[in-house]
Amino acid sequence: MPTLVMKFGGTSVATPERIRNAAERVEREVANGYDVIVIVSAMAGKTNELVGWVEETSNLYDAREYDAVVSSGEQVTAGLMALTLQERDVPARSWQGWQVPLKTSNAHASARIEDIGTDAINAKFAEGMKVAVVAGFQGISPEGRITTLGRGGSDTTAVAFAAAFGAERCDIYTDVDGVYTTDPRITSKARKLDRIAFEEMLELASLGAKVLQTRSVELAMRYKVKLRVLSSFENADQGETAGTLVCDEEDIMESNVVAGVAYSRDEAKMTLLSVADRPGIAAAIFGPLSDAGINVDMIVQNISEDGRTDMTFSLPTNQVERAKSAMETVKNSGDVNYTDLVTDEEVAKISVVGIGMRSHAGVAAQMFKALRDEGINIKVITTSEIKISVLIERKYTELAVQALHDTFALESAG
Ligand code: ADP
Ligand code: ASP
Ligand code: MG
């Protein structure tokens, strides 16, 4: 039997009624002749609540216990989905990550999937089970502890299952009907894309578009998984053309130079003032930051005056305290002698992404002009082959996204 993976995000399983609605879609695919693997998220808001309880209980919490707590939301929805299917006479059972087993690295709270055992689930399919409902987001470490895959990780569970079981397709059901040119919550002009290239989706996801977890796109690209994003709220008779297909660049007809605009509010900027401009200074700063687990993103080094320079970098807001203490340590040890450390926690990163940029000059100039016309100051700029990112004052996030969406005419195709 061909296999299909269907993943339902938090809003799609937010209540028993929504679970029934999702189960109806699953039943339809069973009737179409598929063995179905359903990956479920926790009910909407549940994971946030669990994280809140952990933080309230312990300041510098043990990540193994964090995972024990925050993985529990998916356990509930997996059981409820299996029960709902059974009520509809669909042979189904639930599986926790450790039961599958879905083996991961030891990196608690952001573990990587290392292996998915297919024997147990396949044996049940062979016995006539039609649906395996699997708790997303969670796995088991080499030490036998429960791990989680980072926020939004159920997407990655879904794609990994599709790869492991050679599924015909991996359908990601969510609260929007596909991938848009930007977050539809920011502008009503956002347009749904019928297709998007893996490379573009990867950039959009890593630059803040949370519709798919970055790692899920990486896995789909590597294992050639047919990945589709669609709504669990729309009419179920949408057929195979519903939603957005994430696919190879060659399979895309419509092409704007810019495919989309992404934003991330979760950004901070740090500047070390007046560090010695000498060989090894970057290593002396960014080595310890990396050792402290800080995800440094953008880096700017100013021109040198009198042998001294300023070094600016961006990082996630929740890592600022750790970065500060790492920098104080290097200062005290005499390795990096800066005069002051300035932190700006009110910034956001806005990015435009498109494979058309490879062959199109002038996108950066157009972007900077659009921001200038809105009176938005750019603090830091980085570019790569298919993206340009700027750091701006956070209060201008919506305005900047809307201005860029307009300037690149993303509302209309081609
Ligand atoms: P789920 O709970 O189903 O995993 P998420 O909240 O993780 O859903 O992701 C869906 C959300 O992603 C949408 O509600 C939307 O606000 C947001 N989003 C951000 N950027 C985009 C985009 N470019 N296209 C579609 N949705 C986007
Ligand atoms: N429930 C987890 C989260 O909110 C995983 C997911 O929904 O993908 O991050
Ligand atoms: Mg999600």
68-103 pLDDT, tens digit each = 999 999 999 999 999 999 999 999 999 999 999 999
Quick one: pLDDT band at residue 375, thresholds 50, 70, 90?
A: very high
Cα 337 to ligand 3 centre (Å): 42
Instruction: Give the closest residue (by CA) to ligand 1 atom 25.
Output: 179
CB 135 within 8 A of CB 93: no
Domains of the chain: 3-251 (3.40.1160.10), 261-407 (3.30.2130.10)
Determine the pLDDT at residue 237: 64
Phi, psi for 344 (deg, rounded to 5): -120, 110
* Measured CA distances, 406 to 189, 356, 366, 385 (Å): 9, 17, 11, 22
Instruction: Give the closest residue (by CA) to ligand 2 atom 5.
Output: 152
DSSP code at position 212: S
Determine the pLDDT at residue 93: 98
- Closest-approaching ligand to the CA atom of 154: 2
Cα 42 to ligand 2 centre (Å): 6
Is it the case that residue 365 has pLDDT exceeding 70?
A: yes
Ligand 1 lining (C-beta closer than 6 Å) = 9-12, 41, 152, 174-176, 179-180, 182-185, 204, 209-211, 260
Is it the case that residue 189 has pLDDT exceeding 70?
A: yes
340-343 CB contacts, 8 Å cutoff, 24+ apart: 340/272, 340/273, 340/274, 341/270, 341/271, 341/272, 341/273, 342/270, 342/271, 342/273, 343/268, 343/269, 343/270, 343/271
Does residue 41 line the site of ligand 2, with CB under 6 A? yes
- Closest-approaching ligand to the CA atom of 76: 2
* Measured CA distances, 110 to 65, 252, 330 (Å): 13, 33, 27
Q: Which atom of ligand 1 is nearest to the CA of 179?
A: 24
Name the token pair of 239. 């057929």
Q: Which atom of ligand 2 is nearest to the CA of 157?
A: 8
| pTM confidence score | 0.94
Tens digits of residue pLDDT in 193-242? 999 999 999 999 999 999 999 999 999 999 999 999 999 998 766 666 79
Determine the pLDDT at residue 235: 73
- Closest-approaching ligand to the CA atom of 40: 2
Determine the pLDDT at residue 59: 79
Does residue 231 line the site of ligand 2, with CB under 6 A? no
Determine the pLDDT at residue 236: 65
Q: Which residues lie below 8 Å from residue 177, measured CB to CB, with a gap of 6+?
A: 192, 230, 231, 233, 234, 242, 243
Determine the pLDDT at residue 349: 98
Cα 340 to ligand 2 centre (Å): 39
Determine the pLDDT at residue 21: 97
- Percent of all residues in the chain with a pLDDT value above 70, rounded to a whole number: 98
Instruction: Give the closest residue (by CA) to ligand 1 atom 1.
Output: 9
Indicate the top mutation candidate among 7, 46, 47, 211 to test ligand 2's pocket, ranked by most ligand atoms within 8 A of CB.
Answer: 47
CB 225 within 8 A of CB 7: no
Quick one: pLDDT band at residue 413, thresholds 50, 70, 90?
A: confident
Q: Which atom of ligand 2 is nearest to the CA of 155?
A: 8
Does residue 42 line the site of ligand 2, with CB under 6 A? yes
Beta strand pairing call for 195-197 and 244-247: parallel
Query: What is the Cα gyration radius of the chain?
Result: 23
Q: Which atom of ligand 2 is nearest to the CA of 152?
A: 8
* Measured CA distances, 145 to 51, 64, 67, 103, 104 (Å): 18, 7, 9, 10, 10
- Closest-approaching ligand to the CA atom of 201: 1
Tens digits of residue pLDDT in 8-63? 999 999 999 999 999 999 999 999 999 999 999 999 999 999 999 999 999 778 99
- Closest-approaching ligand to the CA atom of 136: 2
Indicate the top mutation candidate among 74, 170, 183 to test ligand 1's pocket, ranked by most ligand atoms within 8 A of CB.
Answer: 183
Determine the pLDDT at residue 318: 87
Cα 229 to ligand 1 centre (Å): 10
Is it the case that residue 184 has pLDDT exceeding 70?
A: yes
Q: What percent helix, strand, coil does the chain show, rounded to 5? A: 40, 25, 35
Cα 211 to ligand 3 centre (Å): 6
Q: Which atom of ligand 2 is nearest to the CA of 73?
A: 1
Quick one: pLDDT band at residue 304, thresholds 50, 70, 90?
A: confident
Question: What distance in Å separates the CA atoms of residue 29 and residue 18, rounded to the nearest whole number?
Answer: 17
- 195-218: b (≥16 Cβ within 10 Å) or e: bbbbbbbbbbbbbbbebbbbbbbb
Instruction: Give the closest residue (by CA) to ligand 2 atom 6.
Output: 152
Does residue 136 line the site of ligand 2, with CB under 6 A? yes
Among 404, 405, 346, which Cα is nearest to 379's?
346
Among 157, 133, 158, which Cα is nearest to 19's?
133
